[in-house]
Chains A and B, each alone.
Chain A
């Protein structure tokens, strides 16, 4: 199975969302917040050549000198997920033999950035996470609904709670 950054991101956000995403049941295109995020993505950092797709698997917002990976996010609301997404990108490219030094999450709206490093422990953890993601995606049912505060803002809210 090809695991994209979105898989890793959703793994931390919501396991149900991850499952639906793997089945191409998508709601994001209907969600205003997501559309705003997409615009932000397209309009920020125009000087850098944006969006690099690697191995048809991971889609990186931009790379500086093949050393530093950048990921653009709208807000820090689900920060941990974003950090792990970026760690996964670093891991993925290093596995390919590219000497990535570190990553940066950019929050253009907050005018902030955050550096992300990948430690050996992180790599170990990512291997477990990847196995877990595969496990979730091959289930024939979506994982049970867990009600969280973020549900109300999710594009799947109506889908999950109807």
Chain B
């Protein structure tokens, strides 16, 4: 299966039994629909309902990004894998404060574990992250003891804050990055984080779509707030492994530099070429495989996301308690 990242402007249409993107100059590209997992649209593309109907029938989600490269939404085809029982289980686990907390704790436990893994790696490379590591370690001890989601979110926020402060030490380039600013991001690191995170988030959505999970019901994040918040929960676990490591390597290898950004009054965005470079790296990374300890099979980073969905379903169906993904290598 493949993900298509379409940058050119033009028209997306159904042409017989393929989907064809035709650029203004008449050049076209046919997408192998049987092999398409998802489509990312970055350019200015017009499409008609005939095309959407076809894409929907094939069950291919389309993720749409605006002019500045920010995620604006997804075309999420009709749910074909619906399980009423699972939906009820998802909701009851959300409505019951204790059960919701149990799941949310797992997300934060594993996300922060993976964050520590990143820091440990950079400590081996003689970066000064000792202080951040010990601070996060002591914050982690409080995770399971939190009384409610509010408090858990607070700990999670603190862990992220300490983590982001350590980025100055990790990244070789001269950067101005103190704290995370969103909507709109104000400097190049924040722009990078927003962009890469939105890719991780969309990929999680694509994987959730293949399961019976409802993407609007989440546990760490509040459910149903205008977005598919379950993706945020699952993305939390994978951001350190996929997004952060990608950002570190792009910056430390000088593949992305100050020149790739354009500043406007109060925000900063990435040039098209930079976005393409990152996407390419992202796609490669998602295809990277590791040998899974429990399954004894090679699985891609992307597939780890789906496995996370399976683990969650098992938890919700009383099959096996959920334990968040922790980097084991």
Contact = CB atoms under 8 A, between A and B. Distances in A.
Interface string A16-54: 000000011110011000000000000000000000000
A162 B317 contact: no
B212 interface: yes
A4 to B, nearest CB: 16
B83 to A, nearest CB: 4
Nearest to B85: A23
Nearest to A159: B310
Question: Is the interface on chain B under 10, 10 to 19, 20 to 34, or 35 or more residues?
Answer: 20 to 34
A159 B313 contact: yes
A162 B295 contact: yes
B310 A24 contact: no
A141 B321 CA distance: 12
Interface string B292-322: 0011010000000001001101100111000
Contact of B319 (A29, A142, A157): A142
A73 to B, nearest CB: 24
A24 B319 contact: no
B17 to A, nearest CB: 15
B81 interface: yes
Nearest to B318: A141
Contacts of B81: 24, 26, 29
Interface residues of A, number: 14
A162 B307 contact: yes
Nearest to A30: B210
B169 interface: no
B307 A26 contact: no
Contacts of A140: 318
Nearest to B212: A25
Given A26-B81, A141-B318, A141-B319, A161 B86 contact: no
A142 B86 CA distance: 13
B219 to A, nearest CB: 19
Contacts of B313: 25, 159
Interface string A137-162: 00011100000000000000111011
B317 A142 contact: yes
Given A140-B318, A141-B318, A25 B86 contact: yes
Interface in B35-80: 80
A157 B319 CA distance: 14
Most buried by B among A24, A26, A157, A162: A162
B84 interface: yes
B95 interface: no
B290 interface: no
A30 B309 CA distance: 14
Given A161-B294, A162-B307, A162-B314, 13 more contacts: A23-B317, A24-B81, A24-B82, A25-B212, A26-B212, A29-B80, A30-B210, A141-B317, A142-B317, A158-B295, A158-B297, A162-B294, A162-B310
Interface of A: 23-26, 29-30, 140-142, 157-159, 161-162
Closest 4 CB pairs of A and B: A24-B83, A23-B85, A141-B318, A159-B310
6 contacts: A23-B83, A24-B84, A25-B212, A26-B81, A141-B318, A142-B317
